[in-house]
Structure 1
Amino acid sequence: METLSARADTEKEKAITTPKPPGKRMKSVWRSIVQQKYLYLMSMPFIVWVFVFSYLPVWGWTMAFQNYKPSKSFSQQKWVGFKNFVDLFHDERFYLVLRNTLAMSLMGLVAGFIIPILFAVLLNELRGKYFKRTVQTVSYLPHFVSWVVVAGIITKMLSMDGIVNELLIQLHVIDGPVQFMAEGKYFWGIVTASDVWKETGWNAIIYLAAITGIDRELYEAARVDGAGRFRQIWNITLPGIRTTISVLLIMSIGHLIGIGFEKQFQLSNSLVTDYSEVLDLYALKYGIQISRFSYGTAISMFTSVVSIILLLTANGIMKKTTKESIM
């Protein structure tokens, strides 16, 4: 019996490891499509949406290699090769904007990635059911507030007669009011702090969902072994959400250079332009306002290509070090 069982196992392993002929593979694929045809039909609208709004516009990258004129057809455009990229890398303003982008991106990555994890872990440790739900609800409500409203609140709070100046004067931290919104050295910190306040609760939701998937028997076994709450967090909670942390970190690194422009645009003013202008604002300024469409496309193309490189690099490093990957 043991010999027959071992032979059967060997035959199964051979069937699994032996590659199927191309014809059989295609039949297997079509059989799978037929069996799951409703799932494929449900996914079709999303595939079409992604193709139309994410892949089809990539054709517009050809503008970066042209001296694009809206009045001319595609065949009439003048091709200039890499001239727009050469102009971009010779523009001193570009490096200033790149510095601002990387600085705010790194500050946002550190604060906006670590704080939601800590908040989710601490929120999970709350014992009061209703208090926990109330705190969670209040924490993610700012996510639904427009940046226009948030910028107005932040500007009012940091004004000369705002609550922040009054509080600091009362605590004898400063002797007189400070013009926070008029000094560039404060701008990066203001943007980072406002973004953390707005998004921490929302970003913590996915970590809370991952924590709820951890087997509760692990915590019970740890308590039996005498582990305190801190040891449970360190040895059970954080390892339990490691995969989620790794995936979100990889995606955050991929967006390191493409951080958008909404908060910078709303909080900026003419006095702090040298600290507030980021790549997306730079592309908007030169691509739309000055009508240098090809130059603006070159800026956006540079941002996209660097983002892809960062994403692939971060994914490769994570795959080698932690065995976690998103592709």
Structure 2
Amino acid sequence: MSILDTVIENSLESLNIEHFYNDYLVADKRTPVHDMSLGEIANVHYSENQYGLYKRFLTEHDLQNKLTRYGGAEGTLETVLITAKHAGALTGLSELDERHITFFDGAQDAISNVISCTVSPLGSGYRNKQFVLAAIPSYPYAASILNQKCGVKLFQAFSGDEFAQGVVDCIDETIGAILVNIPQNPLGYILTADHAERINHAARLHDCAIIVDMVYAGFTDKGDIQQALSQFDPERTIYCDSFSKIFGLPGLRLGMAFSSNQQICSALRAVKSAHSLLPSALKYLFIGYLLKNHQELIEAIQSSLRMRHHLFASSFESLNSSAARLFPSDNHLYRCIDLGGCPSLQIKR
């Protein structure tokens, strides 16, 4: 006898994404491989110690009244407005304020909740929008989608052009949301304003939402990405971002979703509060403190990672090996490497 829901019981292996982090290795271990951790920001050095900043934050804020009352589940208007200004600068949505921001326990949690608000579960009799359209290779979004008991339609894309064309070719009336990742994880390609407009046209034609995962958007060094982010249809688009990445604190688990569409914003707040009220006030008050007082940390982290990226790329290219090559693309942050049949080359972190 099983008391598990059938969908969950049949999807346990797909739902568990721990292997994505713990066993991330596509190649056979007997062949030469390149291993490079995804999204890690450890060992990047800044002018100030993050733990020291956290201790200072704890001493400067009156947290007693927050932590001993249910009011501790609420942040401050100042924190939300600072966050809205930050989000608006990245996306060109200057109208953002406290009505448009919802905090979550990481960007993955944000994406899951956005899916639950825009895509109906499989088998729903009242609405046909039961699938998410996404590209592969990718971050394991399928787990978040299946967890909401929705369907997923996948297509292959290895560049921005292929992604935009894939959306146009694969979208239909069953799609409730198009899932976009800029820059794409793990391939690193970005989208342009033209790509965004093609996606907008497809979404309008089939009346669906656009979910934009922009967790790594700040780590690129091209202006094109900001043009693309600002080009998405504001009434259909929900953006998901992660402060855990922005401030080099992946273990903090604080993300957000925001949109110009206040109907979706109200729905997100209701759905989130039904799940777990809100994330810890300690987390997002700390983020507000960093946004207000330590903006320099953002650029320090992003510059360090861009430097690592370029250093790796130039070092790899200097090997001048015909057996190992970088895939040609507009990659940022990540590099895709084909080691072919090279019998002896082993690249390690």
Q: Which has the higher helix share?
A: 1
| TM beyond 0.5 | no
Q: Which has the higher strand share?
A: 2
TM-score range, shorter chain: under 0.3
TM-score, length of structure 1 as denominator length: 0.23
